[in-house]
Amino acid sequence: GGPVETGQEYFSSSRQEAVPAYSPDGRFLAFTSLRAGYPNVWICEASSTEHCRQRTHFSSSLTGPASWSPDGRRLVLASNQSGTFDLYMMDAAGTEEPRKLIDGPTDESFPFWSRDGKTIYFTSNRSGRFEVWKTTPEGAPPVSVTTDGGYIGAESVDGRWLYYAKDTAN
């Protein structure tokens, strides 16, 4: 590949837009925008800002970021639409409304897909402190991955390792 261009404005909006994520094939860009008043996920064609559509219609104070499935057909995201942060699954095509994947009285956030698309990792305080957990795209009961603190993970390219942040100050 050639040099990456930086410093160019992609969207023209008077509202804040953040946390962009390209689809695996690079054809689409999902991002969180305040252009409709509340933070919601929008999807645009990467080649044109003319073809954008709002994919969530939440009236919450925080939504996103969205994480694409490896096949580019679905996205998972977090929103505090119901008071606590819950995980939502949605199809990228816009044929279905987002559905709750994981909910409850605790906070679930920072979801991301495994490389094979069979697992969704996320951060949750359901054990009393933030840890990395996992579930399936169908919403199987969550399983703890870390036991001594952890959040915001990423899987290695070969899928063999899970990297995550941990607060070592405590």
Q: How large is the average pLDDT for residues 151-167?
A: 92
Q: How large is the average pLDDT for residues 119-137?
A: 96
Q: How large is the average pLDDT for residues 27-35?
A: 90
Residue whose C-alpha is closest to residue 24's, from 69, 89, 91, 77: 69
Side chain identity, residue 86: D
User: What mean pLDDT is reported for the chain?
Assistant: 87
Give the contacts of 22 (CB within 8 A, at least 6 positions apart). 28, 29, 46, 68
Burial of residue 163 (number of CB atoms within 10 Å: 0-12, 13-18, 19+): exposed
Q: What angle do CA 61, 133, 169 make, to 5 degrees?
A: 80
Could you report the per-residue pLDDT of 57-115, keeping only the tens digit for each? 988 788 888 999 999 999 999 999 888 999 999 999 888 889 999 888 999 999 999 99
User: Got the DSSP string for 80-95?
Assistant: -TTSS-EEEEEETTSS
Number of H helices, E strands in the chain: 0, 14
Whether pLDDT at 16 is above 80 = no
What global pTM score does this model have? 0.85
Pairing mode, strands 143-144 and 86-91: unpaired
Whether pLDDT at 54 is above 70 = yes
pLDDT band, very low/low/confident/very high, at 1 (cuts 50, 70, 90): very low
